[in-house]
Amino acid sequence: MADEHSLEKKFESVLFLPEGENRQGEGGLRTKGLLKKTYENKPLISVITVVYNGERHLEETIQSVINQTYDNVEYIIIDGGSTDGTLDIIKKYEDKIDYWVSEKDNGIYDAMNKGICLSFGEWINFMNVGDKFYDKNTLKSTFQKNIIYQADFIYSDTIFSNGKTFVCDIKKSRIIHQSLFYKKYLHKEFGLYVVAKGVTISDYLFFMLSKNKKWVKVNNPIAIFDLGGISSNLNHFKQKIAVDLMFNNCSRLRASLLLLIHPYYNRIKRFFQ
């Protein structure tokens, strides 16, 4: 896994995780000897859900994954040791989940890294609790034969849970990870997500590191995004500006202006709600 100071450059895919702190259980099809793989013109897609005490919204997220009409999906759930009814919901769908594990972790990026190491798919998507695929045909519509061989990232605009649309654009650093799929091999090149106290934009940093790879935007929506998950604290905002300065030649004047408007950020955010 990534340590607190650097990106881990090497990792191996694993069938099961070594037992971590306060493990509450693991299960799924993989524990019964069933392992999926990529076929010609039908890549295996690994969908990973990270959750902690998510009983309120987890079931709709699970159903949006297991009801996809695309028939080569590997579904992995990483639970951070929930104390509510989350595990009961996971076990309810255990015969549809390839692998799940419940144990304490070091935050969302540590949990995401666990999912990456457990995945055997050619493509990865993170569909976290509360979010869901746009409809049951999303994967089938997205993974057309001509796209599979043209892209490292496949992404689309995001539908917010209030029905408004967020226009995603890699050139403007406007990306929401629920609305994209990317090749797993990129983690071998750029490492896993940074796990460090106070770091809230490791996925954004990963996208910027990969900015010169092949990004293909599709017309069909991929995800419905739960607005409750949007970060708006000052530390998160400053980190995004720092990455803009590094990768997008963001001027110091622009960075200063962005910080000046931050007190009004919550008012601006309400426009989208």
> What is the mean predicted confidence (pLDDT) over 47-62?
96
Asked if 170 contacts 155 with a C-beta cutoff of 8 angstroms, the reply is yes
> What is the mean predicted confidence (pLDDT) over 90-100?
97
Considering the chain, what is the average pLDDT of its residues?
84
> What is the mean predicted confidence (pLDDT) over 244-268?
55
In the prediction, which pLDDT does 264 show? Answer: 47
pLDDT digits (tens, 9 = 90+) for 143-175: 987 888 889 999 999 998 888 898 988 887 788
> What is the mean predicted confidence (pLDDT) over 77-84?
96
Q: How confident is the model at residue 176 (pLDDT cuts 50, 70, 90)?
A: confident
How far is it, in rounded angstroms, from Cα 222 to Cα 135?
Answer: 8
In the prediction, which pLDDT does 4 show? Answer: 35
Q: How confident is the model at residue 199 (pLDDT cuts 50, 70, 90)?
A: confident
Q: How confident is the model at residue 180 (pLDDT cuts 50, 70, 90)?
A: very high
83 versus 256: which is more confidently predicted?
Answer: 83
Residue 271 pLDDT more than 50?
no
CA 3 to chain centre: 19
A 10 A CB-CB count for 218 gives 20
> What is the mean predicted confidence (pLDDT) over 6-12?
53
Quick one: CA torsion of 215, 217, 222, 225, rounded to 10 degrees?
Answer: 80
pLDDT digits (tens, 9 = 90+) for 258-269: 555 555 445 444
Quick one: CA torsion of 227, 2, 207, 119, rounded to 10 degrees?
Answer: -80
> What is the mean predicted confidence (pLDDT) over 237-258?
58
In the prediction, which pLDDT does 145 show? Answer: 72
Helices (H), the chain: 58-66, 86-92, 108-118, 138-142, 145-148, 186-190, 202-209, 234-247, 252-261, 265-270
Give one DSSP letter per residue of 168-182, joined into a string. Answer: -BGGGTB--GGGEEE
Asked if 202 contacts 220 with a C-beta cutoff of 8 angstroms, the reply is no
* Joined tokens for residue 235: 């530390």
Parallel, antiparallel or unpaired: strands 215-217 and 153-155 = parallel
How far is it, in rounded angstroms, from Cα 74 to Cα 69?
Answer: 13
What share of the chain in percent tops pLDDT 70? 79
| 126 three-class SS | strand
In the prediction, which pLDDT does 66 show? Answer: 98
Residue type at position 96: K
From 107-111, 138-142, 258-262, 267-271, the region with the lowest mean pLDDT: 267-271
Residue type at position 189: E
Spatial strand order of the sheet with 165-166 comes to 132-133, 223-225, 158-160, 165-166
Phi and psi at 266, nearest 5°, equal: -65, -35
Residue 257 pLDDT more than 60?
no
In the prediction, which pLDDT does 238 show? Answer: 56
Asked if 86 contacts 115 with a C-beta cutoff of 8 angstroms, the reply is no
Closest C-alpha to 269, from 234, 227, 236: 227
How far is it, in rounded angstroms, from Cα 114 to Cα 1?
Answer: 8
Contacts of 254 (CB under 8 A, 6+ apart): 244
* Joined tokens for residue 84: 């509510």
